[in-house]
Structures are given as structure tokens and as C-alpha cells.
Amino acid sequence: MKPNGYLVALAWSLAVLAAAGVVYGVRVSMAQVLYHQAKYGVAKNHVDGVLRRVDRIHRLYPMHYLACTLGAATARRESLRNPARKNEMERIAAHWCHISLVLNPYKRQMRLLRARLMSSTDPAGAVAYWDAYRNWSFWSPFNHLAMVELCVKAGDFSRAVDALAWTRGFPEYEKASRMMREAWAGEREPPAAIP
């Protein structure tokens, strides 16, 4: 009995697809093991170890946006803790933040990180960027708290006061109010809206 050419082609196609699935599964599994090491395991307290693993994860499985988020957050924390590496870590944080937002544009943590990174070079741009997100997710008091922070840093106190009003009645109000009072500490008298 002679094999049918179509059946042989189908068998080979299925074998190739199965092999590709196995390779893909192994790569994803390896990426997940590295993510666990970076976030919870041996590397979690070593900035460079976390960042090396995040880079490897991205090469193995580029869709792992949580690894990108971890890389951005880790680099940002290091930039705030270690003035000697501030510029390097902010560049790395911006890189991973960008990739994370490409993969998941609704990730609030990364949107806020991007706005905070922007605020050191373009405070007004950072306020506009965050305001666009805040308008999309308006009813979260945290988003208004972040708006107060960014407006204060940009020196836009009238918009900060407006954002402060949206946190009234929520736990975020006290922090936002304190932020405004501290910003106005050098002024004669804070605006009437700041209790």
C-alpha cells in the first residue's frame, strides 16, 4: 500500500507544529522560572541580577509584560536610592516602562512611572500625559492624588487644587493635602482650598 502524498504532508506539518509548540512552551517556562527568581527568589535583592534576568526573560518571551514592569520598577527604585547610578537607572527604567506600555497600555503603574520620569525634564508634558490617563480612569482617587503630585512638581497649583478636590472623602485626601501644604510651605499663605 502506497502512502497518500497529502497524508504525508499533513503528518509532517503536524510534526513541525508540535515541535514549534514544544520549543515555545520551553521558552515560556524558562522565562517564568527567571521571573520567579527575579521577583521572589535569589535575585530579588540584587538590582543588577533582577535587570539581567528581565533582559533574558524579554529575549525568551517578549510578551511577558510583568517582567518589563518589574525591570522598570526596580530600576526606578535604584535611581532614587543610589545617586551615583541615577541617570543610568532612569534610562533603564524608561526603556522597560516603554516596552511594558507597548505590551499593556492600560497598566497604571507604568503610566505613572512614565509621567514621573517625564516630570524631571518636561513637567508640563508629564501633567498632560497623566491627565489623559486620569480622564480615561477618572473615578479612582489615586489618579487624582498622582495628578496633585505632578502638578505640584510642575508648579501648576491651580490644577493641583482642582485635583485635590476629587480626593476629598478618600484616604488619599490627607496625603494629597499634605503634599500641597509642603509645596506651599515657603509661600506666605496657601490657597484657601488647602486645609
Mean pLDDT for the stretch of residues 78-106: 96
Amino acid symbol at 89 = M
Q: CA 103 to CA 110: how far, in whole Å? A: 11
User: In whole angstroms, what separates CA 76 from the centre of its chain?
Assistant: 10
Give the mean pLDDT of 25-34: 94
Q: What mean pLDDT comes out for the span 104-130?
A: 95
CA dist., res. 134 & res. 141, Å (int): 10
Max mean pLDDT among 129-133, 157-161, 172-176 falls in: 129-133
Q: Which residues of 5-37 are buried (b: 16+ CB within 10 A; e: fewer)?
A: eeeeeeeeeeeeeeeeeeeeeeeeeebbebbeb
Is 140 in a helix, a strand, or coil? coil
Domain ranges of the chain: 1-105, 123-195
pLDDT (0 to 100) of residue 172: 85
pLDDT at 116: 96
Give 99's pLDDT tier (boundaries 50, 70, 90).
Answer: very high
Computed over every residue of the chain, the mean pLDDT equals 91
Q: 75-85 pLDDT, tens per residue?
A: 999 999 999 99
pLDDT above 70 (res 114)? yes
pTM equals 0.84
Phi-psi sector, 169: left (phi>0), alpha (psi -120 to 50), beta = left
Report which DSSP code applies to 3.
P
